[in-house]
Amino acid sequence: MTVPSSTLILVEDVSKRYLTSSGPVSALDDVSLRVDAGEFCTLIGPSGCGKSTLLGMIGGLVTPDRGRILIDDRPVSGPDPRRVAPVFQDAGLFPWRTTVENVEFGLELQGVSRERRRQVATELLGPLGLSAFAAKYPRELSGGMRQRVAIGRALALDTKILLMDEPFGALDEQTRVLMGEWLLDIWRRTRKTVIFVTHSLHEALALSTRVVVMTARPGRIKSILPLSLPYPREMESPELVTLRAKLWGEIREESLRAMGEQARTAS
């Protein structure tokens, strides 16, 4: 089967089941997705829809029970820091490392020389807005700053692909919006392929080139919404307002279903 040459990530009929105390739970059911290079692809859906699981599979941390994932035509068999760099919701910074030491972590694992990785990390601090905090420890940084360090750590690897699992989820609303703008700026300059998981409609609409809506458990792809509007997006424009209504309509249905299931399993 030939695949268009710009396809970077190919998810083929992927399924995943987890065994919980209340029986087997199907997280993902026959999911297929194609992501082209340079896309900002957002996965959105209610809790439990498997979006984080899917991200974990692309990042090589989770193995699908069925199906496979190809990156650059190569099957994914584990974490691949040369191609894929992750950012988690919990920034996951090492508390005993300073900002610059945290940013250079990935390079350190790959055996890059101390001078070189220090140089790369320090240069990144500028666009991250953290130059003044290079020697600070995570406990001295605010939530937004920590997330920026985590993103910097991912950017330092200079991979083609960036995976972001609700990176701004723990931040307050205003910070989220500003961080989104900043991320957009970085993305447009570096031309990476970003797969972004979020709950936020605002983020999905403001940042993505494509929005993938997932169903409630078991997770399948419900619909895909391409967004070819120019950046930065006019969130109040009529097109976006219509798109938001459309998106919300899709998500709302799934959210209700997810809530209903929660109520059922809780009772």
Partner 1 sequence: MPSPAWSSAGRGGGRNDGAARAQRRLVKRARIVGLQLVSILVALVAWEVAARGGWVDPLFVPAPSAVVAAFGRIGAAALRALGDTLVKAGIAYGIAVVLGVGAGLALGSARRLRDVLNPFVIGVYGIPKILVLPWIVLLLGFGAAPAIVYGTIQAFFPILLIVMGSVRDVDATLLTVARSYGARPWQLYWKVILPAIVPAVLAGMRLGIVFCLLGVLIVEMFAGVRGMGYVMGSLANGFRAAELFAVTGLVSAASIAIVLTLDVLNDRLAHWRG
Q: Which residues bind partner 1 (CB under 8 A)?
A: 59-61, 79-82, 85-86, 88, 90, 92, 94-97, 105-106, 108-110, 126-133, 136-142, 145, 153, 157, 178, 182, 185, 189
What sign for the dihedral angle of Cα 237, 243, 166, 84?
negative
Specify the residue, 40 or 133, whose C-beta has the smaller distance to partner 1: 133
Minimal distance, residue 240 CB to partner 1, in Å: 24
Minimal distance, residue 189 CB to partner 1, in Å: 7
Residue 226's region, left for phi above 0, alpha for psi from -120 to 50, else beta, is beta
Minimal distance, residue 266 CB to partner 1, in Å: 26
Cβ–Cβ < 8 Å for 169, 87 = no
Specify the residue, 189 or 264, whose C-beta has the smaller distance to partner 1: 189
CA–CA separation, 32 and 14 (whole Å) = 6
Minimal distance, residue 147 CB to partner 1, in Å: 12
Specify the residue, 48 or 56, whose C-beta has the smaller distance to partner 1: 56
Minimal distance, residue 26 CB to partner 1, in Å: 23
For the chain, first and last CA: distance in Å? 48
Minimal distance, residue 193 CB to partner 1, in Å: 17
Specify the residue, 148 or 220, whose C-beta has the smaller distance to partner 1: 148
Which residues 6+ apart lie within 8 Å of 72 measured at CB? 8, 83, 160
Structure-token pair, residue 48: 């439990």
Specify the residue, 110 or 242, whose C-beta has the smaller distance to partner 1: 110
* E strands in the chain: 7-20, 23-36, 40-44, 66-71, 74-75, 84-87, 161-165, 193-198, 210-214, 221-226
Minimal distance, residue 155 CB to partner 1, in Å: 13
Q: Supply the DSSP symbol for 138.
A: G
Cβ–Cβ < 8 Å for 53, 28 = yes
Specify the residue, 159 or 198, whose C-beta has the smaller distance to partner 1: 159
Specify the residue, 98 or 215, whose C-beta has the smaller distance to partner 1: 98
Structure-token pair, residue 93: 């910074």
**Helices then strands, each counted (H, E), the chain:** 8, 10
